[in-house]
Amino acid sequence: MIEFCPLASGSKGNALYLGTKKTKLLIDAGLSVKELASRLSEIGVALNDIEAVLITHEHADHIRGLAMLCKKYRIPVLANRETAKAVVAALAFVPQCKIFVTGDLFTWSDVQIRSFPIQHDAIEPVAFTFEVDQMKIGICADLGFVTTLVRNHLMQCDCLYIEANHQTSMVHACSRPLIYKQRVLSRQGHLSNTEAAELISHVHHERLQHVYLAHLSSECNVPEVALHTVQEALSLQRKKVSLSVAWQDRISHFISLGENR
């Protein structure tokens, strides 16, 4: 059994919950401890039950609440070496770290975890897959380009959390500086709705149960547009899957996989 729920997704803070029969984990901690506790309570999870927090990369919207979380609850941080060093430098705090090597498979309790590299303007950013009892969740956001490696790792997932950050035309039309637009649209930036649709279409299979569209820009995207873009791409290939948006200001759809297996 795997439980999964995005607690927050976007440039104002990111945090995801993943639980099994034996452990409860966070992926990123970009919210305050108070807000993390509040949102976890909505799905019946206590913050002091969290056993570890995995970090995708060191940007503030992914680690903003990490220092206080570690100080108050003594929760260990799982990160690759370069990300751990960047987190320590950013927070001026040294958490209890457990270092993994990007690309290696490791186990936490009953969860098999694999990190894999992605292209983003961070030190050593990663995405993750989590496997429990032959069920698999793929989490892949904050990347500007989908590599063959990314596609391969996201194959055969039961649930996906995929970035659909922007509508390209809205980026060009927004009032943000050119340097912002160039960053977002670059291979070190963020995935567009169309790129997300292409990735989801590529890795789609009959057992895929649910897909979250993640990290939507509040200025350069609209949930309805993101959902329509992905749904249209899947429909053209006669593929179907349950879709939802991962929200910034509230918890998103809670999913529990494998209860009847």
What total of structural domains would you count in the chain?
1
Cβ atoms 128, 4 nearer than 8 A: no
pLDDT of residue 258: 87
Per residue in 78-122, pLDDT tens?
999 999 999 999 999 999 999 999 999 999 999 999 999 999 999
* 242 Cβ neighbours under 8 A, 6+ residues apart: 209, 210, 211
What CATH number should be reported for the domain holding residue 139? 3.60.15.10
Note the helical H segments in the chain: 33-41, 60-63, 66-73, 81-91, 148-153, 168-173, 178-185, 193-203, 223-236
Q: What is the Cβ-side half-sphere exposure of residue 147, based on CA atoms within 13 angstroms? A: 14
At residue 260, the pLDDT reads: 53
For the chain, the residue count is: 261
Q: Which residues of the chain have pLDDT under 50?
A: 261
pTM (two decimals): 0.97
pLDDT of residue 259: 65
pLDDT of residue 261: 45
- Domain range for 62: 2-257
Nearest to 117 by CA among 132, 134, 100, 131: 100
User: What is the structure's pLDDT at 195?
Assistant: 98
- Residue 35 φ/ψ, nearest 5 degrees: -70, -40
93 token code pair:
């705090």
